[in-house]
Chains A and B, each alone.
Chain A
Amino acid sequence: MTLKLDSISARYGTLLAIDGFDAQAAPGRLTAVIGPNAAGKSTLLRCAAGLQTCRGSVEFGGLSVESMAHRDRARCIAWMAQRPRSDVPMTVHEMVELARPRAEQDPGRCRELMQSLELEDLRSRLVPALSVGQQQRVALARTLYQLKSHDGMLVLDEPTAPMDPRHAMLAIDHIRDAARQGATVLLSLHDIGLAAAVADDAWLLRGGRRVGSGPVAEVLVPGLLREAFGIDYEALQRSDGSSWLAPSPPSHGV
């Protein structure tokens, strides 16, 4: 199902965090939300997930997200916080199970997710006793387990930030897999190179405004990235012929 954001604006008191943002995210595609610190990425994701009051309209599958009943929204939109609460004295397994009501539990799917995200050995450990990266994987497993059908939406706020590279790629594989199966996926990332490599589309923000949106090849280009971040990016060639976006080294008075 398609996510449509139409002229949305969101405020924190007098601070305008999102200013008239329009964009669409298509099902089966992974859309990366990119921008500098305080660009409004997290606020935009919270608006898309129906967690933040905003002006304008947010529709998912033709239905207004804001007017959905909490329970119905939870069945089709799964959101993952940038910093999930980690001091909850529950075991890893209990925490993942929390994603669904008792009547909707699917032990096979739960076990499969825990195994593939390498959490099975930690299932009886208490979440507060885990490392930050492990806690983030638990939160990702819970978010993926929340969606019962493949036509829902995943909204992920920097899901891989505290993970080591191997587990970050494992997480990205799961997220891409969800998109391949038909989910609409929205995720914010700070690693432009990673976003360019794994995402299908990108939304580029600065100061709550849209700098660009569309296929990655059209949005994550040096000109727009300079406009968003104020620094130069260059495409580095890898041995397999593909390219990787990286910030140019600063030129000290040359």
Chain B
Amino acid sequence: MMRRGPLGILLLMVVAALVCFLRLLIDRPPGGSISLAWPHQDWMQFRLTAMLTGIIVGGSLALAGALLQTMLRNPLASPFILGVSSGAGLGIMVMAWLVYISGSPATSLPGQWWPSALAGAMAALVVVYSLGRRSGGGGRGWLDPVALVLVGVVVSTICAGGMMFFQHLVPTGLRGQFTTWLMGSIPEYVSSWRLIFSAALAIVAFLYAMGQTRRLDLCLLSDDEANSLGVALGPLRIGIFLACGVLTSLSVSLAGPIAFVGLVGPHAARLLLGARHGLLLPGAMLCGIILLVGADVLRQVIDLGGGRMPVGVLLTIGGGVVFLILLRVEMRRS
């Protein structure tokens, strides 16, 4: 396939801008038809918040997916499949329960507990990485792609079970707030400081990753080859995994566990721009933005009679199909 390089980035930027603009304009009142119009001032803030949240979450998840796929040398890796999103979700649910039993007033949930989401995400990543690694002696362990995914699925299932367990322990009113969040939904109201804080974290993680692009390129080779070409793998892994934990936890605390974006965003960018990380990382972020904000636009169009479908549900169905296709390709290749 012809790679478009910097032109491809420009193309993605244009598409992302169009999708974001569409998110601001699209409107469908309950029982009414779809229209495209500049929103009334009262509604503008909500649409702008949803669009900005979509940009931060979509870009962060796709960037985390691209970094995980490179560091684990696994095309099936993504924050959702490896249980990192569920780990972050479990961190938030544990904190919600602790706040509840301590008798403190639980205010706007669940985004304020980002640090506990980070702790959960990092714990899940460490478990998956440790158990997915086969020992080869003499420090020559290797990552088994299939074992890694299997461990990720199991960790994800355990964390999802844990989330349901802690959800069950909190009172019904609080439980209801978590139900929509657990499905993965883009909120239309988020405080400005949280948006700024999340965007700042995502930018710092992006800039860190962009400073490592040559090392990341070399990580596509074997450990020994990367090492002989000057990469100190240990510190790089810690830095990149920490960046992935930050990106995933900020996304989960804003919009809940969302599938598909972290898996397909990097693949789409790789097809368009190639494997070099200087273009791949910004390209993956743009693809993630297009996917998530695009899905948020699409859900405005779908009317099933019971209110709008959470964006996470739409993406989980689509993501499941794409994951099966990628798994089939990977099994044929190996």
Interface residues, chain A, with chain B CB atoms under 8 Å away: 10-13, 15, 17, 43, 46, 49-53, 70-71, 73-75, 77-79, 81, 84-85, 87-91, 94, 98-99, 101-102, 146
The answer to whether B214 touches A102, judged by C-beta atoms less than 8 angstroms apart, is: yes
Complex Cα distance, B231 from A78, in Å, reads 13
A41 to chain B, nearest CB (A): 15
The answer to whether B138 touches A79, judged by C-beta atoms less than 8 angstroms apart, is: no
The answer to whether B274 touches A90, judged by C-beta atoms less than 8 angstroms apart, is: yes
| Binary per-residue interface labels of chain B (242-257) against chain A in the complex, 1 for a CB within 8 Å, 0 otherwise | 0000000000000000
A11-B137, A12-B137, A12-B140 known; A51+B224 contact, CB < 8 A:
yes
The answer to whether B227 touches A70, judged by C-beta atoms less than 8 angstroms apart, is: yes
Within 8 Å by CB of B228, from A17, A79, A87, lies A79
What residue in chain B is nearest A87 (Cβ atoms)? B333
The answer to whether A98 touches B217, judged by C-beta atoms less than 8 angstroms apart, is: yes
Report B282-334 residues with CB < 8 Å from chain A CB. Answer: 333
Complex Cα distance, B229 from A87, in Å, reads 18
The answer to whether B220 touches A88, judged by C-beta atoms less than 8 angstroms apart, is: yes
- When distances are taken between beta carbons in the complex, the residues of chain A under 8 Å from B275 are 88-90, 94
- Determine which residue in A70, A71, A73 has the highest number of CB atoms from chain B within 10 A of its CB, and name it: A70
What residue in chain A is nearest B222 (Cβ atoms)? A85
B233 to chain A, nearest CB (A): 9
Report B228-276 residues with CB < 8 Å from chain A CB. Answer: 228-232, 270, 274-276
The answer to whether A90 touches B276, judged by C-beta atoms less than 8 angstroms apart, is: yes
A79-B224, A90-B275, A94-B276 known; A52+B230 contact, CB < 8 A:
no
- Determine which residue in A17, A53, A85, A87 has the highest number of CB atoms from chain B within 10 A of its CB, and name it: A85
Complex Cα distance, B8 from A248, in Å, reads 61
- When distances are taken between beta carbons in the complex, the residues of chain B under 8 Å from A75 are 230
A-B residue pairs, 9 tightest by C-beta: A12-B137, A74-B230, A79-B228, A13-B137, A88-B220, A71-B230, A89-B275, A70-B232, A85-B222
- When distances are taken between beta carbons in the complex, the residues of chain A under 8 Å from B202 are none
The answer to whether B274 touches A74, judged by C-beta atoms less than 8 angstroms apart, is: no
17 A-B interface contacts by CB (under 8 A): A11-B138, A13-B137, A17-B138, A52-B139, A52-B140, A70-B227, A70-B232, A73-B228, A77-B228, A84-B222, A88-B220, A89-B274, A90-B217, A91-B274, A98-B218, A99-B229, A102-B214
- When distances are taken between beta carbons in the complex, the residues of chain B under 8 Å from A101 are 214, 230
- When distances are taken between beta carbons in the complex, the residues of chain B under 8 Å from A12 are 136-138, 140
Complex Cα distance, B140 from A17, in Å, reads 14
B148 to chain A, nearest CB (A): 16
The answer to whether A74 touches B229, judged by C-beta atoms less than 8 angstroms apart, is: yes
Other A-B contacts than A10-B138, A98-B214, 10 sampled, CB-CB below 8 A, are A13-B137, A15-B137, A52-B139, A70-B230, A70-B231, A70-B232, A84-B221, A88-B220, A89-B270, A90-B274
B239 to chain A, nearest CB (A): 15
What residue in chain B is nearest A84 (Cβ atoms)? B225
Complex Cα distance, B224 from A77, in Å, reads 13
Within 8 Å by CB of A81, from B136, B217, B225, lies B225
What residue in chain A is nearest B230 (Cβ atoms)? A74
A51-B227, A73-B230, A101-B214 known; A85+B137 contact, CB < 8 A:
no
A81-B222, A85-B222, A88-B221 known; A146+B274 contact, CB < 8 A:
no
What residue in chain B is nearest A79 (Cβ atoms)? B228
- Determine which residue in B218, B227, B230, B333 has the highest number of CB atoms from chain A within 10 A of its CB, and name it: B230
- Determine which residue in B138, B214, B218, B232 has the highest number of CB atoms from chain A within 10 A of its CB, and name it: B138
- When distances are taken between beta carbons in the complex, the residues of chain A under 8 Å from B230 are 70-71, 73-75, 101
What residue in chain B is nearest A71 (Cβ atoms)? B230
| Binary per-residue interface labels of chain B (36-55) against chain A in the complex, 1 for a CB within 8 Å, 0 otherwise | 00000000000000000000
A70-B232, A89-B275, A90-B275 known; A53+B227 contact, CB < 8 A:
no
- When distances are taken between beta carbons in the complex, the residues of chain B under 8 Å from A52 are 138-140
A238 to chain B, nearest CB (A): 38
Complex Cα distance, B333 from A10, in Å, reads 34
What residue in chain A is nearest B235 (Cβ atoms)? A70
What residue in chain B is nearest A54 (Cβ atoms)? B138
B117 to chain A, nearest CB (A): 33
Within 8 Å by CB of A53, from B139, B222, B229, B274, lies B139
Complex Cα distance, B225 from A12, in Å, reads 19
- Determine which residue in B217, B229, B276 has the highest number of CB atoms from chain A within 10 A of its CB, and name it: B229
Complex Cα distance, B225 from A90, in Å, reads 15
The answer to whether B228 touches A74, judged by C-beta atoms less than 8 angstroms apart, is: yes
Within 8 Å by CB of A98, from B136, B224, B229, B232, lies B229
B318 to chain A, nearest CB (A): 24
- When distances are taken between beta carbons in the complex, the residues of chain A under 8 Å from B276 are 90, 94
Complex Cα distance, B222 from A242, in Å, reads 41
The answer to whether B229 touches A85, judged by C-beta atoms less than 8 angstroms apart, is: no
The answer to whether B228 touches A51, judged by C-beta atoms less than 8 angstroms apart, is: yes
B234 to chain A, nearest CB (A): 10
| Binary per-residue interface labels of chain B (3-35) against chain A in the complex, 1 for a CB within 8 Å, 0 otherwise | 000000000000000000000000000000000
What residue in chain B is nearest A75 (Cβ atoms)? B230
- When distances are taken between beta carbons in the complex, the residues of chain A under 8 Å from B228 are 49-51, 73-74, 77-79
Complex Cα distance, B218 from A208, in Å, reads 31
- Determine which residue in A13, A51, A53, A73 has the highest number of CB atoms from chain B within 10 A of its CB, and name it: A51
